[in-house]
Amino acid sequence: MDSWDYEECLDLIDYIPQRNNFFDIWQYEGTAEQDIQEGELDDENLDEYLSRAPEITLNRRPIGGLRLIYSCIGPQLDCNDSTVFWSRSDFMKIVQSFRLPKRFTQAMARCHCFFAQSPPEKIDAEAEHFSYVFSTLFHHCPFWALAAFWDSEKNITYAFLQCDPGSNRDSIPRLKRFLAKSAPQALHPLLVPVLIMDLETNLTLRDDERWTAEIRNVESETGQEPDCRAKTLDPFDLDLPGIVQRLNGCSVFLSLIERESEVVLLHLDQALNMISDLQSMSPNLRKSSNQLTGHVNFLISSRKNLFLRLQNLQRRSQT
């Protein structure tokens, strides 16, 4: 990840201009309610959107917000993980206007597993800013790529998100619902990647329940139920090809989720470190940092417990 060239990475990205979307959350002084704005973007209204500012009146002053541009790879499009649904000029315009780390282009072009704070570009050198890149592969949503920049003075997070939803077409809508319900955490710069890992963990736990039920059914059919006396069955009475196929499916799931869980635990640990760094930069983030830290610790516990369940499932699938 250390040897890379910005222009070269831009050349490796595939640009397919399509309609994109935005999801903005603004919070104002003196009210717990959030102002949520969303809609579609294209090359005609992009400049207007990028120059937009929150409404300011005597009784309505913004205290922070999230500005999220997102794209979702559809099954009808012939594209890959490196596809961006903008022209090259518009993509660069977003990166520059949102002050996103240029290293995001490397994550898009070459890397599927990266989560780290990025050094700020040479802008407002005396001000404190924070930016990061989050890029990873998951079982349900095969590709997530996120770049974000936090303006500490205005408490606004600018983010660009791209997702290949895989078999879970509801991933982006669920993410938006989570964001809308997460006030005041929605103002925390690291909330989006944490929620992405939360969504995937939730779906993985459901898969674990499904495969556990499948193994239980196989044990029942073959007379190998735990805590029960083994039954003597005629192998010719069993659907051996079907049983082997189901066990193979379980084995593939276990190998995928074990590697994924290792990556998620690493990323969650990195998130804790970044949350701590941000809190030291801005005491105003103390409340949302404490809440988000609790959220991350819960996800770490969930993933560790999942490891134990995977080990049990692996043992039962091999006996």
* pLDDT tens-place string over residues 195-252: 999 988 888 777 766 767 766 666 666 666 665 555 555 565 565 666 666 666 677 6
Phi/psi-derived region of residue 240, left when phi > 0, alpha when psi is between -120 and 50, beta in every other case: alpha
H helices of 230-285, in order, are: 240-281
What is the distance between the alpha carbons of residues 206 and 170, in angstroms, rounded to a whole number? 15
pLDDT in tens, 137-156: 887 777 889 999 999 888 89
Give which of 205, 203, 95 is closest to 145, Cα–Cα: 95
pLDDT in tens, 289-301: 999 999 999 999 9
The set of residues, in sequence order, having a beta carbon less than 8 Å from that of 110 and lying 6+ positions away, is 4, 9, 12
Residue 126: its pLDDT value, please?
A: 46
pTM of the full predicted structure? 0.84
CA angle 299, 305, 306 (to 5 degrees): 90
Residue 221: its pLDDT value, please?
A: 62
The DSSP string of 130-149 is EEEEEEE--SSSSEEEEEEE
What is the distance between the alpha carbons of residues 41 and 35, in angstroms, rounded to a whole number? 19
Give which of 115, 111, 42, 35 is closest to 67, Cα–Cα: 35
